[in-house]
Amino acid sequence: MRATWKPHEKHGKLTMRSDLPSSVYAFPKQRKEPMTDARHVRNAVARFDQVTDASDADRALAFANIKKAAKHYGVELGEGDWHELGEHPQTNRKARAKKAVATKRRTGALRKASKKAASTRKKRAR
């Protein structure tokens, strides 16, 4: 599979995710896992199996893009094929997230996190 990834060195505050070209994503069709630096390349590898709406061809392209970006940014990959990163997406992710929110509501952690987020937004607005 031929990689479509191209380096994108523009850094700074992006107003929208759409400011990035499709060529910087591991999964360009889905526009998932942007790779603009070494940290993002490592993150794309770690989250590879979390992308749920990708075919085998999309995953092969994504791995080719990850390899190309890793070479560009000097990130070592231990995997030689996308199958080694995990081919099965996390199918129960939504159900687990719903259960986690219910648990946080029950324990009061959700309210605490909400107050902290509101406080952070107020501080940043100043």
Question: Can you give the pTM of this predicted structure?
Answer: 0.64
Cα 76-77-78 angle, rounded to 5 deg: 120
Handedness of CA 93, 94, 99, 102 (dihedral sign): positive
Walk along the chain (126 residues) and give the pLDDT tens digit of each residue. 788 888 876 655 554 556 788 899 999 999 999 998 999 999 999 899 888 888 999 999 999 999 999 999 999 988 888 888 865 555 666 777 788 888 888 888 888 888 888 898 888 888
Q: How far apart are CA 89 and CA 96, in angstroms?
A: 14
> Residue 3: phi, psi to the nearest 5?
-70, 145
User: Which of 28, 38, 22, 40 lies closest to 71 in space, CA to CA?
Assistant: 38
